[in-house]
Amino acid sequence: MTFSLVARSADGRLHGVAVASKFLAAGAVVPAAAAEVGALATQAHANLAYRPQGLTLLRTGVAAADVVAGLVAADPEREHRQVGVVGAGGPGASWTGPECLPWAGGRTGDGWAAQGNVLTGPEVVDALGDAWLSGAALPFAERLVAALRAGDEAGGDRRGRQSAGLLVVERGGGYGGTSDVLVDLRVDDHPEPIAELSRLLAVHTMLFGRPDPATLLDLTGAVAEEVAALLRALGHPVSDDGPEAALTSWAGLENLEERLVPGRIDPVVLTHLRGVAPHVPAPRSGS
């Protein structure tokens, strides 16, 4: 009772799954992904064993269509299953068992697979695919959520809304570079789960997104003076050597450490600092 999109980035570095459903915590059940290997979604009468089995097959170089064929061939309940798979290369693949509740079906293309069941109609899967194809200018995670939103606006799960989830993997893309999980967000029970998922992704991007080198500001001159004044206003002592140590301390408390760059400041960090610091008045004349 779910619709989902499984996809790979054009350069093959990112794999992800976006899912929404009138089902509690669909993000805990449906998606699985491994960096530079592939991703899959298992739904309808979901077989959670498909997740490790499918990724194992993908790791051996089996194509997405053959992974789907292998999973369902070995499953006596395959007529009630739905699964979408994307590998490290090539087209995605999808299976919809004939006993899945209508409307049920899927659509695939190079590097993606969209599928759903108990939908208002095929327009939901079409909207997922069309939005994915037209969203190439968006960052990968945002593109997945935009496609999910389009599917929902086209009708979505005909029973209503409850949960949504987003899983994106990239080699070394996780927190501190110590895992491959770039994004793992879930809205388990909410009247507007996709809108809430979008909000969470924006917060995640602000906190954990990597700084854009082209926008970094040197932590010198007027920028350093402003940062020092803002940090002092927040109660962080600034040494004579400059504000960098105090900035590092403050950023750690704000969970912005992923955006720190020695000797420079990310405009995202500066904007947040300006937003949380008390107003710092200009010095009075003669003082």
What DSSP string describes 151-201?
HHHTT-BTT---EEEEEEEETT-SGGGSSSEEEEEEE-S-SSHHHHHHHHH
The reply to whether 247 and 167 lie within a common domain is no
**pLDDT confidence of 281, banded at 50, 70, 90?**
low
Any domain includes 287:
no
Any domain includes 286:
no
**pLDDT confidence of 287, banded at 50, 70, 90?**
very low
The reply to whether 260 and 146 lie within a common domain is no
Location of structure tokens 């109609």: 121
Tell me the mean pLDDT in the region 120-148.
98
The reply to whether 227 and 100 lie within a common domain is no
Tell me the mean pLDDT in the region 14-27.
98
Cα 43 to Cα 29: distance, rounded to the nearest angstrom = 8
Domain boundary among the residues 151, 174, 208 is at 208
Location of structure tokens 């919809």: 96
pLDDT score for 279: 77
**pLDDT confidence of 285, banded at 50, 70, 90?**
very low
The reply to whether 270 and 202 lie within a common domain is no
Strand partners, 93: 85
What amino acid is encoded at 218 in this protein? D
The reply to whether 24 and 155 lie within a common domain is yes
CATH number, domain of 160, equals: 3.60.20.10
Any domain includes 147:
yes
37-82 pLDDT, tens digit each: 999 999 999 999 999 999 999 999 999 999 999 999 999 999 999 9
Total domain count for the chain? Answer: 2
Task: Indicate if the pLDDT at residue 101 is higher than 90.
Answer: yes
The reply to whether 188 and 228 lie within a common domain is no
Q: Which residue has the higher pLDDT, 279 or 133?
A: 133
Task: Indicate if the pLDDT at residue 125 is higher than 60.
Answer: yes
Burial environment of residue 197 by CB neighbours within 10 A (0 to 12, 13 to 18, 19 or more): buried
Domain boundary among the residues 158, 174, 208 is at 208
The reply to whether 46 and 142 lie within a common domain is yes
Domain with 22, as residue range(s), is 2-208
Any domain includes 83:
yes
The reply to whether 126 and 251 lie within a common domain is no
The reply to whether 41 and 183 lie within a common domain is yes
- pTM of the full structure: 0.93
pLDDT score for 280: 65
pLDDT score for 282: 52
The reply to whether 165 and 75 lie within a common domain is yes
Lowest mean pLDDT among 11-25, 101-115, 190-204, 270-284: 270-284
The answer to whether residues 19 and 148 touch, using CB atoms and an 8 Å cutoff, is yes
pLDDT score for 106: 98
Domain boundary among the residues 180, 208, 236 is at 208
Percentage of the chain with pLDDT > 70?
97
The reply to whether 159 and 230 lie within a common domain is no
The reply to whether 170 and 253 lie within a common domain is no
**Alpha helices, H only, the chain:** 50-59, 64-73, 122-134, 140-153, 193-208, 221-233, 244-253, 267-276
Tell me the mean pLDDT in the region 20-27.
98
Task: Indicate if the pLDDT at residue 9 is higher than 50.
Answer: yes
